[in-house]
Structure 1
Amino acid sequence: MYISELDTPALTVDLDILERNIAQMATLCQNLDIPLRPHTKTHKVPQIAQMQIEAGAQGITCQKVGEAEVMVAVGIDDILIPYNIVGKPKLERLMQLAKQATITVAVDSDITARGLSEQAQKDGATIQVVVEMDTGSKRCGVQSPQAVQALAQTIVDLPGLDFQGVMTYPSRLEAKPFIDETLELLRKDGISVSMVSGGGTGSEVNSKQIGCTETRSGSYIYEGMQRIGPETVNPETCALRMIVTVVSTPTANRVITDGGMKAFTSYPPTPYGYIIEQPEVKIYGMSVEHGHIDVSGSSHRFQVGEQLSVIPVHQGMTSNLHDELVAVRNGQVEAIWPIAGRGKVK
């Protein structure tokens, strides 16, 4: 089958670019001598996760228990969930995963740690734990090295928990004093640290320099080695393409496609995306099921039924809206992969 035969909107991935992105990140981390633990929340596709592991990744990262369940189901056995897991339903599912694979989760409070321990004891499981540090992102995470020390002491004493170390996001050079002081406090307490996990596409060098034992990168899979924005989309490094069809040409300066917010993302930035065939035109707006394109800067005469290839700006959010990903090489479909982690927000 050719791309032109796909029903639209169709989410596709260019396999040549995808494979190159995987190889480049693997090579970078190998050259830095820092293990890579790719974050799968961007693609949510088990087949791509397996490709990353085959390229040398030491395991993967999943943001939610549901994503991890999808990956464990295909045999992936080393997963970090850098998230506070709270509530009985999630904890029960988490402990079932911990019996099938090596699962590590993050905590930043005594309450979360004790909840993990209680469920682990009930289910006869052991779960690996890292303490999340807030080294500047102002999201989750304990606020000082002393707070890490206190929480680590609690974790070490709780049954069913196996303290592994610490994590942060993103990897900033400014975080090094925080990390160094933390590790020294834990060393003095005789608490062993085997994991210092950093993260962020484009932050791999920083992860190495601040003393991380691994780095988590996710967006590179579809964007390349640096994050993109509305004005920096690069068709040479961006692997994802949404194939849309022109469904209306109401005026000389406007065409409408069948790809709107439900295909791309809610409330997208303006202009949105990059149209490969005619990069001079701009998606200036979207309604729920329509893409609004300003074609005033183009000499091309658009026709109803014409297909366009759009590189989304936030490729991870776009992926989460679709059931399947069409893998394409040189214009031909090679595979159709379920986006098995799509919608797994629990």
Structure 2
Amino acid sequence: MNIYELDTPAVVIDLDVLEKNIEDMAALCRELGITLRGHTKSHKSPEIAKMQVAAGSKGIVCQKLGEAENMARAGLDDILITYNIVGRQKVRRLTELARYRRITVTVDSFAIASGISEQAKLDRVTIGILVEIDTGGKRTGVQSPAAAEELGKQVQTLPGLELRGLMTYPSRVSSKPIIEDVVGRFKKASLSLDIISGGGTGEEWESKELGFTEHRSGSYVYEGLSRIQGSSGNEGLSAERCPLRVITTVVSVPTADRLIIDGGMKTFRLFPSMPYGLILEDPRIKFSGMSVEHGHVDTSESNRKYIVGDKLTVIPTYQEGVTNLHDEIVWARNDQVYRVLRNHGRGKVK
């Protein structure tokens, strides 16, 4: 079937572009001499994660426990979860996962670590631990090298836990003094540094410069070797770089300079930022707005006449957000449907 015969809106991934992005990142990390650990939160797909691993990714990264469970059920192993696991329900799920997969999680407090330890001891499993240090991301993470050292020492005393090293986000060369300090402290205290994990697509060389053992990249599957800053324009969005696109249908042409497609906020992203995306068939037409189920397109600069039923292909500004809105993802090659996948990772935010 041709992709333009699909019912719309349809999320379609161009396999040729996807494969190129995955291979390019693997090759870049090999050239830099830094181990790649592919992040999966962008695509949420075990099938794509397996492609990342086949290309050279050492295990995978998940942001949420639900994502990790989905990946583990599909056979993936060596999973790093870069999120604080809080509460008995989640900790029980974590230890169940650790019964049959190698699991590592990040922590930034004794409260998090001790909660995991208590359940791991009861269930007789071992959970790997990375101490997260905040080096400028201003998100989670201990706030100083001294605090990281103290937490590392505490983790070593807790049953069911295995200290494996350090983690930070994003990788920034400007944080080198902090990294050197915390690494020095860990070495002096004989704390494990098997893993020093940095992250951020486009910052692989910075992880190498900082002496990290691995780098977490994920957005590259949809965006190539660097992030696309689409909120300020469509610069960077292209069919050669971005494998994910949404095929839509023109459902109304109310005026000579405006048309409506069958994809709005629920298709592309709730409360998206302008300019929403690049329309491949005619770059002269642009989104003028979005309502919940309607995409508003300005055609005033185009000399093409559109009619109801025409198909328009959109590369969304925020492709990662689109993935989490759809039940099905279509893989295609040369505009022919190759495979239709259920999006089992959708909504795995717990």
* TM bin (shorter chain): over 0.9
Gaps of 5+ in 1: none
Match of 1:24 in 2: 24
Residues 1:210 and 2:214 aligned together: no
Match of 1:279 in 2: 283
Name the CA distance, whole Å, in 2 between partners of 1:92 and 1:224: 37
Name the CA distance, whole Å, in 1 between partners of 2:217 and 2:153: 29
Contact 1:176 1:211 in 2 (8 A): no
Contact 1:45 1:337 in 2 (8 A): no
Match of 1:291 in 2: 295
Name the CA distance, whole Å, in 2 between partners of 1:170 and 1:336: 34
Contact 1:21 1:224 in 2 (8 A): yes
Gaps of 5+ in 2: none
- SS of corresponding position for 2:180: helix
Q: Find 1:321's aligned residue among 303, 320, 325.
A: 325
Name the CA distance, whole Å, in 2 between partners of 1:297 and 1:100: 58
* Deviation at residue 60 of structure 1 after TM alignment: 0.4
* Deviation at residue 338 of structure 1 after TM alignment: 2.0
Residues 1:12 and 2:16 aligned together: no
Name the CA distance, whole Å, in 2 between partners of 1:317 and 1:88: 29
Contact 1:259 1:290 in 2 (8 A): yes
1:232-267 deviations in Å (ceiling 9; x for gaps)? 222210110000000000011110000000001011
- SS of corresponding position for 2:192: coil
Match of 2:34 in 1: 34
- SS of corresponding position for 1:154: helix
Q: How does 1:100-179 map to 2 (within 5 A)?
A: 100-179=100-179
- Alpha-carbon RMSD across the aligned residues, in angstroms, is 0.8
Residues 1:254 and 2:258 aligned together: yes
* Deviation at residue 229 of structure 1 after TM alignment: 2.4
Match of 1:243 in 2: 247
Q: Look up the equivalent residue of 2:251 and give its one-letter code.
A: V
1:79-129 deviations in Å (ceiling 9; x for gaps)? 100000001111001001111111100000110010010010111111000
1:174-224 deviations in Å (ceiling 9; x for gaps)? 121111111111111111210000011100111110111000111110111
Percent of pairs with identical residues? 55
Contact 1:258 1:289 in 2 (8 A): yes
Q: Look up the equivalent residue of 2:273 and give its one-letter code.
A: P
Name the CA distance, whole Å, in 1 between partners of 2:225 and 2:147: 34
Contact 1:47 1:337 in 2 (8 A): no
Contact 1:104 1:127 in 2 (8 A): yes
1:287-334 deviations in Å (ceiling 9; x for gaps)? 110000011111111110011110011111110001121001111000
Name the CA distance, whole Å, in 2 between partners of 1:283 and 1:144: 45
TM-score when normalising by structure 1: 0.99
Contact 2:120 2:127 in 1 (8 A): yes
Q: Find 1:270's aligned residue among 259, 271, 274.
A: 274
- SS of corresponding position for 1:18: helix
Q: Look up the equivalent residue of 1:235 and give its one-letter code.
A: A
Match of 1:89 in 2: 89
TM-score when normalising by structure 2: 0.98
Contact 2:275 2:317 in 1 (8 A): no
Q: Look up the equivalent residue of 1:126 and give its one-letter code.
A: T
Match of 1:194 in 2: 194
